[in-house]
């Protein structure tokens, strides 16, 4: 087994998963407030005011979590010389085309990916930019008066636009998690019945060889000290 994720990344993931679930439940209940299940949820949480307080608290936690994640990543790259392995590059596009050819039987082997493949990067940056959008629109909806005091030149339609963007982005995020992330973590034939990496932080060498061969080669390559 090869260490794939640090313990702090595991904690970060599970905190985000818990907060995301809370935001989805409280957010959907407000969006579909005329439905019986939504009204039951509102009553179960103690009323609409309590639900809004829970939703906003979750939004604060999610925003802080995203901010620290980005700050740690930027500082790690700038000062600790971490590899910017999640940055999108030309190889991601060529890997996507290569895999399409592989799926259609035009080439015998799949693309040789590094630490993160193009699918993982797509999901990651979707979460990052989606989180930034949700934080910005959520703050606008929470403090509309303050927004116009700080930026009086903004048109009144900003509030309505923020509501639409906040609501639609939340639905998009939910669909991506349900149809993409859960499939890859649970139902994909390569990990079924469950990808245990998110619990242990480790991945088998066999999976590394299949999914991230370039990183495996780098990990197993002798260091300069060993060669001496």
- pLDDT per residue as tens digits for the range 184-226: 889 988 888 899 999 999 999 999 999 999 999 999 986 644 4
Give the C-alpha separation, 223 to 226, whole Å.
Answer: 5
Mean pLDDT score, 126-152: 94
Domain chopping of the chain, boundaries: 2-219
Q: What is the DSSP letter of 34?
A: T
Report the DSSP beta bridge partners of residue 3: 202
Separate counts of helices (H) and strands (E) for the chain: 12, 2
The whole-number pLDDT of residue 190 equals: 84
Q: Is 131:66 a contact under the CB 8 Å cutoff? A: yes
The whole-number pLDDT of residue 227 equals: 40
Is the per-residue pLDDT at 32 higher than 80? yes
Q: Compute the mean pLDDT over every residue in the chain, rounded to the nearest whole number.
A: 92
The whole-number pLDDT of residue 121 equals: 96
Give the C-alpha separation, 173 to 134, whole Å.
Answer: 10
Indicate if the alpha-carbon torsion angle 157, 163, 168, 170 is positive or negative: positive
**What pLDDT, in 10s, does the model give residues 58-89?**
999 999 999 999 999 999 999 999 999 999 99
**What pLDDT, in 10s, does the model give residues 3-20?**
999 999 999 999 999 999
The whole-number pLDDT of residue 180 equals: 87
Burial of 36 (0-12, 13-18, 19+ CB in 10 A): exposed
Instruction: Determine which helix (DSSP H) or strand (DSSP E) holds 39, and give its type and residue range.
Output: helix 36-44
Neighbours of 38 (CB within 10 A): 17
Percent of the chain at pLDDT exceeding 90: 85
Q: Is 14:206 a contact under the CB 8 Å cutoff? A: no
Picking from 82, 80, 73, 86, the residue whose alpha carbon sits closest to that of residue 113 is: 86
For the domain made up of 2-219, the CATH class stated in words is mainly alpha
């Amino acid at each position: 087994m090869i260490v794939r994720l640090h313990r702090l990344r595991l904690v970060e993931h599970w905190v985000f998963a818990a907060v995301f679930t809370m935001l989805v439940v409280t957010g959907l209940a407000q969006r579909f407030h005329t439905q019986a299940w939504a009204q039951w949820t509102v009553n179960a949480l103690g009323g609409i005011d309590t639900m809004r307080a829970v939703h906003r608290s979750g939004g604060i936690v999610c925003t802080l979590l995203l901010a620290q994640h980005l700050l740690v990543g930027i500082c790690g790259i700038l000062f600790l010389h971490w590899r910017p392995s999640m940055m999108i590059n030309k190889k991601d596009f060529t890997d996507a085309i290569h895999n399409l050819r592989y799926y259609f039987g035009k080439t015998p082997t799949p693309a040789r990916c590094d630490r993160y493949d193009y699918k993982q990067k797509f999901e990651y940056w979707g979460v990052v930019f989606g989180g930034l959008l949700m934080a910005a629109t959520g703050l606008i909806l929470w403090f509309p008066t303050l927004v116009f005091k700080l930026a009086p030149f903004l048109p009144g339609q900003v509030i309505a636009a923020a509501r639409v963007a906040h609501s639609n982005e939340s639905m998009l995020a939910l669909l991506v998690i349900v149809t993409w992330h859960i499939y890859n973590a649970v139902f994909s034939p390569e990990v079924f019945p469950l990808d245990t990496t998110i619990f242990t932080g480790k991945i088998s060498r066999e999976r590394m060889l299949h999914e991230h061969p370039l990183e495996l080669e780098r990990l197993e390559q002798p260091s300069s000290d060993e060669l001496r």
